[in-house]
């Protein structure tokens, strides 16, 4: 085929969700005869998601998880020495992301919400690993049907913390929209693709390297390090309180 594939799996440390799905990934490794690398939040950041949620409560969990996962994927990919990261984001995911960014007024993220390749523009000469989403136009339903008929092994349950997540509401909205407008998902993606780029006079965050971890960042300290700092401060406070 001309390219070498690796499986990279990130263990966020969510009991009842990730621990079960990792067993499936190990099965996939055998079935497809691919190298598998598993990295965990615990070993990378010294925080599992269950520990994060215990600390911060049930709000904003996805924010922490998403930011950490991004960095975990980057670090795993660097360790594997690969050229590109491929993720399984499907059409439903893209439509949800676009709608979420719209509802949050996230003008910087909006135009790229449904980009099929991101990170390949070599910002400021800083090398980043491009990410691509080959299933961008594939409906989740198609994927589930394919897996069903081909009898593929996969693990399917919702993340334990997802009922509270913002994405869940958007997903529900889109599913209900589909009932009256079956093309809702692809329409949302097309709308995003035709969006005008934001006003060039607006201050777009400059890409730079994080001063702490040296990975790509929009600020002096990247989001992952910022979140980690606040988590560790919270933990330190608790330890001091126990000691008192």
Partner 1 sequence: MKVIVDFGGGLDVCFENKKEITLEFEEQQIKMADVILKLKTICNPKKLDFFYTQQLRPGILVLINDADWELEDKEEAQLQHNDRVSFISTLHGG
User: Radius of gyration of the chain from Cα atoms?
Assistant: 19
Shortest CB 12 distance to partner 1, Å: 8
Nearest approach, Cβ of residue 156 and partner 1 (Å) = 4
Footprint of partner 1 (CB under 8 A):
62, 65, 92, 140-141, 143-145, 148-149, 156-159, 161-162, 165, 171-172, 175-176, 178-179
Q: 139 or 209: whose CB is closer to partner 1?
A: 139
Please, which residue, 149 or 205, has the CB nearer to partner 1?
149
Rounded Cα distance, 140 and 151, in Å = 16
C-alpha to C-alpha distances, 73 to 1, 12, 87, 212, 239, nearest whole angstrom: 24, 11, 10, 18, 31
Residue 72 or 210: the one with the smaller Cβ distance to partner 1 is 72
Q: Which is nearer to partner 1, 176 or 206 (CB)?
A: 176
206 closest CA partner among 125, 104, 98, 113: 125
157, 163 contact by CB (below 8 A)? no
Q: How far is the CB of 121 from partner 1 (least distance, A)?
A: 27
Least gap, CB of 184 to partner 1 (angstroms) = 11
Residue 21 to residue 158: CA distance in whole angstroms: 11
Per this entry, what is the length of the chain? 244
Smallest separation, CB 183 to partner 1 (Å): 14
Which residue, 100 or 159, is less far from partner 1 as judged by CB?
Answer: 159
Tokens of 125: 């000469």
Q: Please say which residue, 165 or 228, places its beta carbon nearer to partner 1.
A: 165
Question: How many angstroms separate the CA atoms of 244 and 57, rounded?
Answer: 24
Rounded to whole angstroms, the Cα distance separating 205 from 217 reads: 9
CA-based torsion, 17, 119, 59, 140: positive or negative = negative
């Amino acid at each position: 085929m001309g390219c070498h594939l690796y499986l990279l799996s990130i263990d966020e440390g969510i009991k009842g969700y990730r621990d079960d799905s990792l067993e499936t990934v190990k099965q996939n490794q055998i079935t497809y005869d691919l190298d598998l690398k598993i990295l965990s939040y615990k070993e990378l950041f010294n925080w599992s998601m269950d520990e994060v949620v215990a600390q911060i409560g049930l709000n904003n969990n996805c924010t922490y998880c998403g930011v950490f996962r991004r960095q975990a994927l980057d670090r795993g990919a660097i360790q594997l020495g690969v050229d590109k990261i491929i993720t399984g984001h499907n059409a439903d995911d893209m439509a949800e992301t676009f709608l979420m960014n719209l509802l949050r007024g996230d003008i910087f993220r909006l135009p790229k919400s449904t980009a099929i390749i991101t990170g390949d523009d070599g910002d400021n000469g800083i090398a980043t690993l491009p990410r691509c989403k080959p299933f961008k136009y594939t409906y989740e339903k198609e994927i589930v049907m394919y897996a069903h008929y081909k009898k593929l092994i996969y693990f399917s349950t919702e993340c334990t913390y997802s009922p509270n997540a913002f994405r869940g509401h958007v997903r529900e909205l889109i599913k209900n929209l589909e009932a009256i407008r079956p093309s809702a998902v692809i329409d949302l993606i097309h709308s995003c693709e035709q969006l005008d780029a934001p006003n060039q006079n607006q201050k777009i965050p400059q890409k730079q390297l994080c001063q702490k971890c040296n990975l790509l960042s929009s600020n002096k300290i990247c989001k992952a390090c910022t979140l980690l700092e606040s988590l560790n401060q919270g933990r330190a406070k608790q330890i001091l309180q126990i000691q008192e």
